[in-house]
Amino acid sequence: MNKSLNRRWTLVMVLMFGMVLLTACGTKYAALPINEDVDICAICKMQVKDDAYATQLTTKDGQNYKFDDIGCMNQWKTENGTDNIGMDYVRDYNDKEWIEYSKATYVYDASLRTPMAYGILNFKDKPSAEAFIAEQGVGTIMTAEDLASHDWKQNTENMDMMGEHGHDAHGHGEEGASEGTHQEGEMEEESGQ
């Protein structure tokens, strides 16, 4: 009778442990909608626009942080580490769909205008990123792994040409792809050279 009781307790313990594992592995993270009325960047404290530049992450303990530029999200990761991140998201430049950070393709060029002048745009796939580069004539394709060793410098010239606190005075490029970029010819025109 004692063996039967031990087997039952062992079975109960194994089942409980299995349920705990399934619960822990079953945690699902989802990108949250942007609410421009209340969402503020966790780093620069600027309004997070419901646009292609918004990023966000959710920690394993359920805290959600939103950012107006991928560079701000990178700064948060640098300051807080990445071990407690459950999932992080960026938005596709073309259709604003949320993409897992690790699955996105990135285009970098210092001349690309982003809210905080980091010059990185996000795309859901490599063909979309390549099409953007072909159309705009600037940019280098990067992966999430490439971004881990990126220097993350802000383009101070783009910061100077943007409105107060580094944000584009016209919003965040809602008028089209050319609004979101800044090519050399435009820089010379605006600076009066």
Express each pLDDT in 131-182 by its tens digit. Answer: 999 999 999 999 999 999 999 999 888 765 554 444 443 333 333 333 333 3
Express each pLDDT in 88-126 by its tens digit. Answer: 999 999 999 999 999 999 999 999 999 999 999 999 999
Q: Is 88 exposed, middle or buried (0-12, 13-18, 19+ CB in 10 A)?
A: buried
> How far is C-alpha 16 from the geometric centre of its chain's CA atoms?
37
pTM above 0.85, yes or no: no
Beta carbons within 8 Å of 132's beta carbon, 6+ residues apart: 93, 107, 121, 123, 139, 177
Q: Tokens 């039952």 identify what position?
A: 8
